[in-house]
Structure 1
Amino acid sequence: MPAPAHGPLDRERAHLAASRAALRAMRAEVAALDLTDVAANWVNAAVLQAEVDARIAALADLADTPLFFGRLDYREDTGGHTGQTADHAGQRYYIGRRHVHDAAGEPMVIDWRAPVSQPFYRASRRDPQGVDLRRRFGYTGGELTAYEDERLSGAAPDTTEGAAGSALLQREIERPRVGPMRDIVATIQPEQDAIVRTGVEGTVCVQGAPGTGKTAVGLHRVAYLLYAHRQRLARTGTLVLGPNASFLRYIEQVLPALGELRVRQSTVDALTAHVPVRGGDDARAATVKGDARMAEVLRRALRSHVRPPAEPCVVVRGSRRWRVPAYELAEIVEELLGRDIRYGAAREALPQRIAHAVLVRMEQSGEAPDDRVQDTVARSTAVKATVKACWPPVDPARLVLRLLSDADFLATHAEGLLSAEEQKAVLWAKPARGVRTAPWTVADTVLVDEAMDLVARTPSLGHVVLDEAQDLSPMQYRAVGRRCTTGSATVLGDLAQGTTPWATASWSEALRHLGKPDAAVEELTRGFRVPREVIAYASRLLPAIAPTLAPATSVRTSPGDFAVLRVPELAAGVLDACRAALGREGSVGLIAADARLPELTAALARAGLPYLAPGDETTAEARLTLVPASLAKGLEYDSVVLDEPAAIVDGEPDERTGLRRLYVCLTRAVSALTIVHTAPLPGELSA
């Protein structure tokens, strides 16, 4: 018999142990299901087994992940409230990552996404929402070690609520980051929760300064939507888009920790990879190819394949010949063009329209044809020949290939849209022989994706999360928008961190290209990750890179370890800083200009310091990650050593882009930042 639990902490530990046992029982119950002879056929059986396997995986108990992190005690006296608040009067709920119930079906842990859990994030002393006491739990290595109470009723309002007033929240926020990104479900703040719980019909754009948790908010929103609208999104699907593979590896554990295992994750480049990328564009070419005007160029080029019929269509049925004159065929073609439907859909409709014209003639002659006759006529050799002549099939990749390799063809369809200089910029240096051997670039693949959608509609998903959106071109926004035309989106980014030549100038423009012009734009400026001194130092760059944005503030009570070191020998200074950082807890990121990586790689090897690539999981043996400045966006490390800021700025095509890249690199630290340099710092930082 276990010893009785006497103190509050003992009782909470007992509830945790009982909840874990209940979760194991729930999992065992699913695993014990006998599916023999349940399904009608092997296909249904396989689908059902996959569902059961997914449910078993979702019920896994993660040893190092707290099963619950908070508790709500509702008041006995509802204070005149009705509805939900009155329904919960006197109740106690434990709030966690997933629902857990006992053998009788009584809840032991409530999913954080359930309506009853919302006051855990939103209630305050000004607005208790029926809650008497909110309790937060502290964990060490999966073991419950502390709790902290906040009395919400019967107390005078003060200004210490939220992260700034909770020691456990502060400790959780500042807990060392070892391995991939963690969920923030235990530390979500009211302004973040409001975004997370936005309805599935609404698209929301989050402008978030570094450390405000915008990526985590986006991931938690898709988890919330899957909870609240599971059947709908199970049919239509969900997608998370990140800037690169390293970023996706970094965030890949967040949704599984929340019990969501079926959310697809990808990059925009992978989403549009319809042709093999063999080349690269300079900034000028990529900017023009990414311009929204290219959509109209492609539309014109595609529609140019439609030709007016030169001859009538004569259909032979038995001893009769039915003739549709060329002028009537031309009217049908013009009517389809005027409807501006997709090229492929119009091409599929054309034979039926011609067949209908034939049936009209049959009826006028006294015959009574039915739909089967119309289908037969539509499939006849004569009609097929007419359709092929008037509305030939078009391969999207070959269409783009011709535009980029045939100057005359491009000039014809870009007239009035692209200048002669812009046309010259996008043309390939040498004519391409075929789709597989063409010097395709990443920007070209987006053009192919656009052309494919002009031919046949791109399937729409229920919800898309787009992170680091500020770096997308208008054509890339269009590509993402096609994936959620009938669904919604969560757009995440920071205008100050735009580092591409075509970086987003305003969210209203970006949302228009995405096809969501009415989306709400929310701004997060309260930082929870970046230490106070670090964000203040990085914000010196804002007047030069994003003068319209307000500097972020930090709720962190500790300023963090911050140092700017000018050293006589750069490599030696960087190695010393890395050794000092490795003396602290958590992950260490050495961020440097891409051109500096070979020298630093050699220096680390000589010093015997093992290091990882971005996105790799840190271990006890290797906590240092060597991060190219071009891949630092979206990542975070407990300690950051920043190598030669001037080299990061000089590595970009212009100073503003370079300063934005530096801003990104400066704001990757959670606890400590050491800047090591020999060259003078940019003027904005040396003041």
Structure 2
Amino acid sequence: MLQKGVLTEWTEKEGIDVADEQSVRKEEERRLSEVLKQVELRLDKELSVLGERRGDVVGIRQEFWDDVRMNFSDATELGETWTSIMQQKEILMERERSHRVAFEAVEKLAKMHDNPYFARIDFAEDGCKPEQIYIGRASLVGDDGETFWVYDWRAPVSSLFYDHEPGLVSYDTPEGEIDGELTLKRQFVIRAGKLKHVFDTDETVGDDILQAVLSEKSDTSMKSIVATIQKEQNRIIRDEKHRLLVVQGAAGSGKTSAALQRVAYLLYRFRQSLTPDQIVLFSPNPVFKGYISRVLPELGEANMRQMTFRELIEARLGRRFQVEDLFSQTEVLSASEGTAEGAARERAVRYKGSEHFFLTVERYFDRLENEGIRFRPLRFRGDTIASADEMATQYYSIKASEGFAYRAASLRKWLLAKLAAWADSQLDQPWVEEAAELADDEEIQRAYVQIRRGGGFHEDAFDDEDRMTDALKKRAVEAAVEPLRKAVKSYRFLDAVGTYRELFRSRSLFTDCSPDGKLPEGWEWMAARAEETLARKIIDHEDATPLLYLMEGLEGFRKVEGDIRHLFVDEAQDYSPFQAAYLRRRFPQARLTVLGDFNQAIYAGSQDSGGFGGWTRLMAKEDTAVWRLTTSYRSTRQIVEFSRKILLPEEAAEIRPFQREGEEPRLMRCRDGAQLADTVAADIRSLLEQGHGTIGVIAKSAKECGNAAALLKERLPDEVPVTYVTGGSAELPRGVSVLPSYLAKGIEFDAVVVWDASAARYGQERDRKLLYTVCTRALHVLHVYHLGEPSSWLPQGS
């Protein structure tokens, strides 16, 4: 069997016969030519179909109303007209669906023409002849329906390429295990339909392929990794046994890429029962959402639902409250470093994300089953329709065993009935009569139509005027109380904020609910802070999840998303135990895949959580698998070695660099801000000239980034794009991106320039992981600048 190497570069001194090399290459080029002909034939057919479908859609749209029989003379004709419109609509929708399917087929085949496959395995099933299996991003089947020119990388047999070396092997299928012998593993680099390189290997993915792929320049979007999936990543991608997968991966180990390939695999494996809208991925920020948005479409799959935890909070609390986000909280804590206020706030942040506080709130729920829920009175213009005490009496008259959901729904029904009765009692009140008299033409017309439908305004009617007045009064009352009705329907009568505040108003209540009967350190400060902020309808980020959990618990978790089958959480180490527990309750039926890196736990609320914030306690041990990815593929060996030294030895022990060589990271001192800006601007010009398309200038805070972006724009020519990336940015641009440290997570750049990694900026112990995170964003080049003394976490003498 051929040994590992680049076939186009092998020589006889390496023990490989040149004639064999040429023969293999010619064989593979001939086969590639056959596949491309198949792709072209299929592409011609699909283009023809696409043209027909496009013509159908355009024609139907243009002639839509010509083919509809329009008649509004009576109810029967109106019904027939409506039926005719709906028939035309169904025909148009069907043609549009066919057009979309044809367009997607053409798009897939066009990509396949550029790069139809990346691997070949020769496999002989027990008792059968060997078969050559070519593996690509999508399958290509002959017109006979039996000839497989290319197998999809997600097909069961394709797992042999990722999981096994040549020899006796087996692989799992839905029908059972298949045994046989793997006799060849071959890899290809194909670009624009041309065979560039051929590799034979005994490994999962040969180092030569990885070297070639990892040496490429970065893009503004994440790439698919199907051609370079490693054995340990493949296990994560294809795991169907466990309900909870926890993936601890070093920076650049491919955990996010593996997660996205897992989504693609699940959609392929369960294509009859799983759709993209049944999968949710939580991203760390909007920039990252945009960064990964092209991976699944590149694989021919629609994107799953993506959201940030911030968006989840905003959807429930953002309309009524000013809610602080995680990045604002981080900036506040950074600005108040070294002060008593800052220390107190940080204690509160850490505590309110802890498992201790989650258990305290859970025990508080036990108390609330029997007493203590606060209600908002139902009032209208000073009149109390239902008082808070009446609501409490009505609520607690229902057995606690019925649960929060049933009791809240019953109280809601009672309030709606009470509101309707009160509205009827107001019909003769002066304010109603006045509103009826001031009705506009539109309201009068609606009242007229209502009475006409009821038999009014004909020759035998004698009370039309009175009926009009009554109708206008009733409509006036209904319009006036509609906001109250909506509030009741949306459970606004439950005062979750007031109920939450009670927990911090009473020491005895808090200690009774505390699992160890103790108050946390700094409880008095937390109590005063909660009273002051919540009274002003301001919610600190650390209060948002507990408050949301309490709110939805009082409503009986009516907002749970039981139709979601898979939940993916990236940067999971940044989620507090409280947030992890909330997501589990919000998505009760979902299987969980959580990914993160202990060494990148940069936020105060998650740094005491042991890395994954209690994720592993969410499900039974037998339903849980913990995977570790220790090899860092993103950065060069030199950058990985430099970054490892920032961490504590025990934290860095398992991190292994992939042996891709590059230049040593540079550590440079500047005397002041002006020299820093001048030197970085010159550095950027040089990096761009070297061909680096994406350059990240990373400062610690947003304030520093704003200053850095302004200084660099002054010093760089207009043709060099400098973009200040904020928490609201949705896309990562090409050129120079200036961004704060906490927004860089999960993103990579050809070159990273660290803006002022001085002891003054990165001097605290918690800054160690932040600095590590920043440095590990670089693929090829890392330049670290500092004013004054460098951070003590940085390797010295670099």
Range class of TM-score, shorter chain: 0.7 to 0.9
Match of 1:488 among 591, 597, 621: 591
Match of 2:139 among 71, 93, 99: 99
- Count of residues in Structure 1 that have an aligned counterpart in Structure 2: 594
Name the amino acid aligned to 2:614. Answer: A
Match of 2:676 among 563, 567, 570: 570
Q: Distance in 2 between matches of 1:567 and 1:439?
A: 41
**Structure 2 equivalent of residue 315 of structure 1:** none
Whether 1:593 and 2:700 are equivalent positions in the alignment is yes
Q: Deviations over 1:188-225 (max 9, x none)?
A: 01111111100065321110001110110111111111
Q: Distance in 1 between matches of 2:493 and 2:629?
A: 41
Name the amino acid aligned to 2:200. Answer: E
Match of 1:655 among 764, 776, 785: 764
Name the amino acid aligned to 1:438. Answer: K
Q: Distance in 2 between matches of 1:588 and 1:597?
A: 14
Whether 1:171 and 2:219 are equivalent positions in the alignment is no
Contact 2:243 2:591 in 1 (8 A): yes
Q: Secondary structure at the match of 1:285?
A: helix
Distance of aligned partners of 1:403 and 1:275 in 2 relative to their CA distance in 1, 3 Å threshold: same
How far is 1:500 from its partner?
A: 1.1
How far is 1:451 from its partner?
A: 2.3
How far is 1:501 from its partner?
A: 1.3
Name the amino acid aligned to 2:285. Answer: N
Q: Distance in 2 between matches of 1:508 and 1:299?
A: 21
**Structure 1 equivalent of residue 334 of structure 2:** none
Q: Distance in 2 between matches of 1:495 and 1:425?
A: 28
How far is 1:465 from its partner?
A: 0.9
Q: Distance in 2 between matches of 1:396 and 1:45?
A: 47
Q: Secondary structure at the match of 2:307?
A: strand
Q: Distance in 2 between matches of 1:447 and 1:48?
A: 47
**Structure 1 equivalent of residue 627 of structure 2:** 522
**Structure 1 equivalent of residue 309 of structure 2:** 268
Name the amino acid aligned to 2:572. Answer: A
**Structure 2 equivalent of residue 278 of structure 1:** 322
Q: Secondary structure at the match of 1:530?
A: coil
**Structure 2 equivalent of residue 639 of structure 1:** 751
**Structure 2 equivalent of residue 535 of structure 1:** 640
Structure 1: gaps spanning 5 or more residues: 153-160, 309-329, 353-391
Name the amino acid aligned to 1:637. Answer: F
Q: Which residues of 2 match residues 286-435 of structure 1 at below 5 A?
A: 286-299=349-362, 336-338=399-401, 341=403, 343-347=404-408, 395=492, 398-404=495-501, 407-408=504-505, 412=509, 415-417=512-514, 418-419=519-520, 421-422=522-523, 424-425=525-526, 427-428=528-529
Match of 1:501 among 583, 604, 610: 604
RMSD: 3.9
Contact 2:276 2:304 in 1 (8 A): no
Name the amino acid aligned to 1:463. Answer: H
Distance of aligned partners of 1:307 and 1:641 in 2 relative to their CA distance in 1, 3 Å threshold: closer
Whether 1:193 and 2:303 are equivalent positions in the alignment is no
Match of 1:90 among 126, 130, 147: 130
Distance of aligned partners of 1:27 and 1:301 in 2 relative to their CA distance in 1, 3 Å threshold: farther
Q: Which residues of 2 match residues 228-267 of structure 1 at below 5 A?
A: 228-234=269-275, 237-267=278-308
How far is 1:439 from its partner?
A: 0.6
Whether 1:15 and 2:56 are equivalent positions in the alignment is no
**Structure 2 equivalent of residue 686 of structure 1:** 796
Match of 1:475 among 549, 558, 578: 578
How far is 1:257 from its partner?
A: 1.0
Contact 1:396 1:452 in 2 (8 A): no
How far is 1:470 from its partner?
A: 0.6
Q: Secondary structure at the match of 1:232?
A: coil
Distance of aligned partners of 1:103 and 1:599 in 2 relative to their CA distance in 1, 3 Å threshold: same
| TM-score when normalising by structure 2 | 0.66
Distance of aligned partners of 1:440 and 1:617 in 2 relative to their CA distance in 1, 3 Å threshold: closer
Distance of aligned partners of 1:351 and 1:659 in 2 relative to their CA distance in 1, 3 Å threshold: closer
Distance of aligned partners of 1:251 and 1:169 in 2 relative to their CA distance in 1, 3 Å threshold: same
Q: Deviations over 1:166-192 (max 9, x none)?
A: 423321122111221111111101111
Q: Distance in 2 between matches of 1:62 and 1:626?
A: 38
Distance of aligned partners of 1:405 and 1:577 in 2 relative to their CA distance in 1, 3 Å threshold: farther
Q: Secondary structure at the match of 1:686?
A: coil
Whether 1:144 and 2:194 are equivalent positions in the alignment is yes
Distance of aligned partners of 1:261 and 1:45 in 2 relative to their CA distance in 1, 3 Å threshold: farther
Deviates more, 1:194-203 or 1:404-413: 404-413
Contact 2:501 2:531 in 1 (8 A): no
Match of 1:666 among 775, 782, 788: 775
How far is 1:635 from its partner?
A: 0.6
Q: Deviations over 1:589-624 (max 9, x none)?
A: 1112224323321221112242234477677xx522
**Structure 1 equivalent of residue 561 of structure 2:** 459
How far is 1:486 from its partner?
A: 1.9
Name the amino acid aligned to 2:573. Answer: Q
**Structure 2 equivalent of residue 383 of structure 1:** none
Distance of aligned partners of 1:539 and 1:407 in 2 relative to their CA distance in 1, 3 Å threshold: closer
Q: Secondary structure at the match of 2:226?
A: coil
Q: Deviations over 1:441-467 (max 9, x none)?
A: 333332243124422331231001100
Q: Secondary structure at the match of 1:287?
A: helix
Contact 1:288 1:422 in 2 (8 A): no
Q: Secondary structure at the match of 1:537?
A: helix
Percentage of pairs with the same residue: 24
Query: When you count helix as a share of all residues, which structure comes out higher?
Result: 2
Q: Secondary structure at the match of 2:539?
A: coil
Q: Distance in 2 between matches of 1:478 and 1:283?
A: 21
How far is 1:552 from its partner?
A: 1.5
How far is 1:524 from its partner?
A: 0.5
Contact 2:135 2:158 in 1 (8 A): yes
Q: Distance in 2 between matches of 1:43 and 1:64?
A: 33
Contact 2:696 2:736 in 1 (8 A): yes
Q: Deviations over 1:54-89 (max 9, x none)?
A: 6456432385675433232425x65xx36xxx4xx4
Q: Distance in 1 between matches of 2:410 and 2:523?
A: 37
Q: Distance in 1 between matches of 2:500 and 2:730?
A: 41
Distance of aligned partners of 1:420 and 1:529 in 2 relative to their CA distance in 1, 3 Å threshold: closer
How far is 1:525 from its partner?
A: 0.6
Name the amino acid aligned to 2:143. Answer: A
Q: Distance in 1 between matches of 2:521 and 2:185?
A: 66
